Amino acid sequence: MSQTLQLFSEDAFVPTEAAAQRISLANDADPREADLNGITVIELDFPKFNDGRAFSQAFLLRRRLGFAGQIRATGDVLIDQLVQMQRSGFTQAVLRADQNLVHGQALLAHYPAFYQGDAVHTVPHFATA
């Protein structure tokens, strides 16, 4: 995969972009209604690990709105969600403080490719030349 999800620990994470370049969206917000002019980072919130509405938001931002900046997962983010986050269009994940970064990186490395397309790599694996 050409794009690897960047992982950060919640207890040590500090955003590097200017606040004016970042927008945070609640998981019930419609990204189509957000003003993304000048925005380079969109933070999507997971208030609970079992609430996956942010996956749909990320997919919508990448595929339908063509957002090319960083999409960051925040909130109750577990390593179990990382593969689906990467496939949905997230580029960064701020893991809950009790999650292990090394285990998360190993999990991502375990799946180097997928047969079907996703939000980032839309062409199915079998169709590549």
User: What SS3 string covers 86-119?
Assistant: HHHCCCEEEECCCCCHHHHHHHHHHCCCCCCCCC
The total number of residues shown for the chain amounts to 129
pLDDT band of 32, cuts 50, 70, 90: very high
What's this model's pTM, rounded to 2 decimal places?
0.85
Q: Which of 34, 6, 32 is nearest to 90 (CA)?
A: 6
**Percentage above 90 pLDDT, the chain:** 74
pLDDT band of 127, cuts 50, 70, 90: low
39-56: average pLDDT: 94
Residue 3: the pLDDT is: 53
Its sign, for the CA torsion 111, 112, 115, 117, is positive
